[in-house]
Structure 1
Amino acid sequence: MELGLKDKSALVFGAGGGLGGAIARELAAEGAKVVAADIDADAAEATAAAIRDAGGTGRALIWDIGDLTVLEERIATVKAAFGPISVLVNNTGGPPPTPAAGQSPEAWSRHFDQMVRSVIAVTDSALPRHAGSRLGRIITSTSSGVVAPIPNLGISNALRLALVGWSKTLAREVGRDGITANIILPGRIATGRILFLDEQKARREGRSVADVSAESSGTIPVGRYGDPSEYAATVAFLASRRASYITGSVIRVDGGLIASI
């Protein structure tokens, strides 16, 4: 299937991680020119190098998305390298496991700035309305916790949900400019983040990580954790011209994990 992404400029955050890296590589495989942004320089460069080794166009960019003082300079760097940004993938790290109760106001503010305010600011700067472009894609990766809150991820459940309301509102505002805005939800995808959460649960409950992972896999209808490439393929479709009539949506990539309709 031709996705119409050849030579389009894509900016992917968290591109040094499991999900972000897979997304960056998948977009590049479809012909997009990808900026792999991450706070970890080595991880970002590893993703960019993998893209280039596969024959694609990739560039690493060190970027702490929560640092808004560098926002305009980084956006200018991306546009100077690959032109106007056609595809923006907002993918931030999550906060540590915590209950909802008992967190300090400072903790809420810090994680809000990192996970919510930063995403909104970057999107406003990267993809201003450009009528007639007919390709502008804002894809924001959140968590299945926005549909079914995950125990002991109180801060994540609350703050990521704010992005769902923002994305839905934005989609209605920019649709006539050829821009779509969608939320994508990972279920339990086999990344370092999921391993970390399994390790934390195992430690709390005095169990082995293998036991926790097996129990968790047993709750998923397809019986396994997802592969990052499966998540990335969904993002690539949403980024494509083929998905031009999908906007304001929340797309689950969860192997059927979320029980609600």
Structure 2
Amino acid sequence: MDLGIKGKTALVCASTGGLGAATARALAADGAQVVFSGRRGETAAAEAAAYPGCVGIEADLSSVDGARKLYDAAVTEVGQIDILVLNGPGPRPGTASKVDAEDLTIAFTSLMLVQQSLIEAALPHMREQKWGRILSIASSGVVAPITGLALSNVGRMALAGYLKALSNEVAAEGITVNMLLPGRIATDRLISLDNNAAEQSGKSVEQIRAAGAKSIPTGRYGDPAEFGAVGAFLCSAQASYVNGIAMRCDGGLVSTL
């Protein structure tokens, strides 16, 4: 399918690996001029080099200042941004009863304020041209809070509320705003978590993975490319009537519609 994004510019945050990289690759493969970004500047450049017209930029998205620097650098490299894909690491694990004000401030900054600052920078151009795509790579914790990830649940739910309100405000201007929620996708991060779980439990990695896959109706972990393809579609011209949703790409893992 031609996604209708050839020649469009896209900034994909935290796209040197994992789900961000998968989404950036899918957009670039369909002709978008993609800015790959992340703390590993050399990796971002190497990813971008595989696609004509794409660039890699080193970036630190832990602060609003870092996010603005990335956005300004992206515009310098490729011009005004048509497609903005929000992504980034989550805050530390922890239970709700043990978080404090400092923890909440850090989580809110990384998962809400940083993302909002990027949207604020991108909106004027999108509104002027009457076309834009804003996609947040989030977490299934948005629809089913994950035990032990209280800070992530809080921060991402705050972002979800903001994005839903925004989607209602800008839809008539040709701009869509959506979230894409992963389940167990076989990224380096998940593989590392499985390896750690095996070491701590005394089980083999194969046993850990089999148990994880058993909890998924499809019976397997997802491939990052599968996730990236869904992300690219939500940023496409064809998805112009998909707005204000939190779509799951999880093999049916979360037991709600």
- TM-score, length of structure 1 as denominator length: 0.91
Matched, 1:220 2:228: no
Matched, 1:58 2:23: no
* CA offset digits 1:185-227 (Å, max 9, x no partner): 0011001222233345445545443322211100111110000
User: How far 1:90 moved relative to its partner?
Assistant: 0.2
How far apart in 1 are the matches of 2:69 and 2:147? 39
The 8 Å contact of residues 66 and 115 in structure 1, kept in 2 or not, is answered as no
User: How far 1:133 moved relative to its partner?
Assistant: 2.2
Aligned residue for 1:236?
Answer: 232
Aligned residue for 2:11?
Answer: 11
Aligned residue for 2:136?
Answer: 140
Tell me, what secondary structure is at the counterpart of 2:222?
coil
* CA offset digits 1:157-208 (Å, max 9, x no partner): 2211111111110001111211100011001100122223334544554544
Distance 1:82 1:258, change over 3 A: same
User: How far 1:71 moved relative to its partner?
Assistant: 4.1
How far apart in 2 are the matches of 1:60 and 1:230? 23
Which one of 186, 189, 193 corresponds to residue 193 of structure 1? Answer: 189
The 8 Å contact of residues 86 and 127 in structure 1, kept in 2 or not, is answered as no
Matched, 1:68 2:101: no
User: How far 1:41 moved relative to its partner?
Assistant: 1.5
Unaligned 5+ residue runs, structure 1?
none
Matched, 1:43 2:43: yes
The 8 Å contact of residues 129 and 174 in structure 1, kept in 2 or not, is answered as no
Distance 1:197 1:103, change over 3 A: farther
How far apart in 1 are the matches of 2:65 and 2:72? 13
- TM-score, length of structure 2 as denominator length: 0.93
Matched, 1:88 2:102: no
The 8 Å contact of residues 180 and 246 in structure 2, kept in 1 or not, is answered as yes
How far apart in 1 are the matches of 2:117 and 2:124? 11
Distance 1:16 1:2, change over 3 A: same
The 8 Å contact of residues 85 and 127 in structure 1, kept in 2 or not, is answered as no
The 8 Å contact of residues 82 and 126 in structure 2, kept in 1 or not, is answered as no
Tell me, what secondary structure is at the counterpart of 2:120?
helix
Aligned residue for 1:31?
Answer: 31
Tell me, what secondary structure is at the counterpart of 2:164?
helix
The residue type paired with residue 38 of structure 1 is G
The 8 Å contact of residues 217 and 224 in structure 1, kept in 2 or not, is answered as yes
